[in-house]
Amino acid sequence: MSLLFQLCPFALGCNVFTLGIIFTLLLLLLDFMKRRKPCKDFPPSPPSWPFVGNLLQVDFKSSQIALRQLSKTYGDVISLQVFWKPMVVLNGFEVMKEALLQKSEDIADRPIIYLFEMLGFDENNKGVLFANYGQSWKDLRRFTLSTLRDFGMGKKSLEERVREEAGYLCDAFQSEQGRPFDPQVLINTAVSNVICSIIFGERFEYDDHKFQKLLRLTEEIVTSESGKVTQVITLFAWISKFPGLAKPFFQTRMQLHKYLQEIINEHKQTWDSGHTRDFIDAFILEMEKAKGVKDSNFNDQNLLLIIADLFAAGTETTTTTLRWGLLFMLLYPDVQRKVQEEIDQVIGRTRKPTMGDVLQMPYTNAVIHEIQRYADIIPLSVPHMTYRDTHIKGFFIPKGTVIMTNLSSVLKDEKVWEKPFQFYPEHFIDRDGKFVKREAFMAFSAGRRVCLGEQLARMELFLFFSSLLQRFSFQIPDGEPCPREDPEFVYMQFPHRYKICAKVR
């Protein structure tokens, strides 16, 4: 029967050419029917192709640059068509300030991605990162922030944990004995250990096999899920109806979930209501309190997904920033020397840095901010969606429109920064040599959806960076090429792999 169906056009005398024309006309008709008519005052858009929309006009390898170029022609608020879905891209500091700060709630939703349905989860419980703006997101975000904040819990404070890990990281660097090595694995291990000690209540030795597996999985998730095919798949509702179709694209995430679920199960078996060991225990306590409450957001699925969020959002980001930081110290030895002078003056060579030192160290603080600004690691942030109809810079944007916040265009806004495309720590230093906050520093985004881990990340960046520069001087190894300053872009901007020599000072 199906063979007959396939042969039918040939039976009617059609050749391949005619079939091609029929197919194209059908596509155009479908495109015409599905394409949403832009409403009056909708942001301007470059001309788009049938079916794929503007997809081919945006170079995926450096989409933020392509978008910046488009904004030069069409303005700071532009619309693009991705298949039949319209999306709005926001560029530049002025626009972002209005959108993320003044209209924060209007754009606080996340686009519907079908990742969780594809993996067989209930669509109402999505953790925090991908959760829609609503009660579940509010409850979980509030719980996570307060648990991170008062993480004393009768044990070590968060700062003590990070300081302790900074010590282990320095020891691991020292064991390389000044020989050339790639610092990526050691930094990633230290950063992940901080998250582990918060969530699991324990840190791991740097050569622990089970731990290395966790590191590999979180690292791979960022790259595997930012692939073009995977991203497109998550946009189509119909694929989620056939979970088997999509699962092959999410193998890494499924392995990570399995790994985390085993740890959650172990916690449940040894849980003691009077003794909260870590984040998982604190969440289980909330689940106990919510027993009998209909539709509580403190449930097993959210526990698993929120932990996965913290690993995915909290390890690669800080690791990548620190890798950029050391790379810039190799490329700008004068900056390295000035940071070390300040460390010697304020902290000395033996006492471990504390967060209390930041205020006394304007130059180091400025350098860390400049590392984040210049490295610009998440140029397009995480997509938002309008929660209600809104206006941005006078353009009307209806509820349910995907919003891309081009953070890169803010961090490198030519109207704001003196030297947007250069590494220039003086961006954050005033005439009196004091540290100066800049409103356009939006590396963590801003508004309702601002990075939940910002405080922790700031602490890690300062304590790891200053501890390393206190103990070592960093150099490009003899005979190694000068490291590349341009990024490798896979959703995030990573430095190309490089080697370093860490000489004890």
- Give the residue at shortest CB distance from ligand HEM: 453
* 39 marked as binding residue: no
Among the listed residues 35, 59, 60, the one whose alpha carbon sits nearest the alpha carbon of residue 48: 35
Nearer to ligand HEM, 42 or 464 (CB): 464
| Interface with ligand HEM: number of residues (CB under 6 A) | 24
- Contact between 127 and 302 (Cβ < 8 Å): yes
Phi, psi of 500 (to 5 degrees): -140, 155
User: What does the angle CA 316 – CA 317 – CA 322 come to, to the nearest 5 degrees?
Assistant: 95
468 binds ligand HEM (CB under 6 A): no
Residue selected from 240, 276, 317, 470 as contacting ligand HEM according to rule CB under 6 A: 317
Considering only the stretches 12-20, 76-84, 217-225, 312-320, report the one whose residues sit in contact with ligand HEM under the rule CB under 6 A: 312-320
Shorter beta-carbon distance to ligand HEM: residue 342 or 376: 376
Q: Which stretch binds ligand HEM (CB under 6 A): 59-67, 182-190, 306-314, 326-334?
A: 306-314
C-alpha 42/C-alpha 240 separation (Å) is 31
Burial 443-479 (b: 16+ CB within 10 A, else e): bbbbbbbebbbeebbbbbbbbbbbbbbbbbbbbbeee
Smaller CB separation from ligand HEM, 148 or 346: 148
Please state, in angstroms and as integers, the Cα–Cα distance from residue 305 to each residue in 119, 123, 260, following that order.
12, 12, 9
Residue with smaller CB distance to ligand HEM, 104 or 475: 104
Contact yes or no for 484/324 (Cβ under 8 A): no
Report the residue number, 48 or 365, with the smaller CB distance to ligand HEM: 365
Instruction: Indicate whether 487 belongs to the interface with ligand HEM (CB under 6 A).
Output: no
Q: How far is the CB of 447 from ligand HEM (least distance, A)?
A: 7
**Shortest Cβ 345–ligand HEM spacing (Å):** 26
CB of 452 to ligand HEM, least distance (A): 4
List the one residue from 85, 97, 138, 141 that touches ligand HEM (CB under 6 A). 141
**Closer residue to ligand HEM, CB minimum distance, 31 or 281:** 281
400, 85 Cβ separation under 8 angstroms: no
Q: Which stretch binds ligand HEM (CB under 6 A): 10-18, 77-85, 336-344, 376-384?
A: 376-384
Contact 328, 339 (CB under 8 A): no
For 254, counting Cβ atoms within 10 Å of its Cβ (0-12 exposed, 13-18 middle, 19+ buried), the class is: middle
**3-class secondary structure, 2:** helix
Question: Rule CB under 6 A: is residue 310 a binding residue for ligand HEM?
Answer: yes
CA distance 277 to 263: 13
Residue 488 has phi, psi (to 5 degrees) of: -100, 125
**Contact set for ligand HEM, span 403-462 (CB under 6 A):** 443-445, 449-453, 456-457
Q: Which residues bind ligand HEM (CB under 6 A)?
A: 128-129, 141, 309-310, 313-314, 317-318, 321, 377-378, 381-382, 443-445, 449-453, 456-457
Q: Which residues are annotated binding-site positions?
A: 451
Residues annotated in the binding site for heme, as ranges? 451
